[in-house]
Amino acid sequence: MTTTFRIARARRASLVLIGLCVCGWPATAAAQSASYSFTVPIAKPVPNPCSGGFELVTGNVVLSISTGPTATDPFGLTANLTSSGQGQDALSDGTLAASGLPPYQYSSNATLEAGFPGVPTDFGQTVTLSDYLVRSNGSTTDRFTMKTTLSLSFTNGVPNAPVLKSLNVACK
């Protein structure tokens, strides 16, 4: 029994597959089509790896999931992730700091597709979405990357609410 993944990369984003755990398949299952949507809000102070200060990162990751039979698999799953938001100069506790600099902006999207030989009883997937934060005035002297890691889990082909696992930043 094999599980196939097809990954499509989109504008300024990458989706990194970290792990997959498939735990059993029902003997017979009628795959039905369904659509789900989740919004994961983000509001977190993070260290600015380029300037040594902090940024209050706010935004959303929207996860849209469609399930159902595909041309090649009895059960298929398509997940679209879209992130957008901004980072504002702040103190380590998230209090905004008046630096006179414009905020950082970010947005990206990515798609994950998976096919299964039947409706999986339980499985999980960890995905990482990479965003580039650039000052809204276009300056790239202190741009940085932010990797948002989400944990996805499914029961009988139905997704549970995604869990934000981590935000990691690096100077670019």
Tokens of 75: 């059960």
The reported pLDDT for the residue numbered 141 is 83
What per-residue confidence (pLDDT) applies to 140? 79
- Give the pTM: 0.72
pLDDT at 76: 92
As a whole number of angstroms, the distance between CA 45 and CA 84 comes to 16
Q: Which CA distances in Å does 125 have to 66, 88, 106?
A: 15, 31, 24
Predicted pLDDT of residue 31: 54
d(CA 90, CA 67): 41
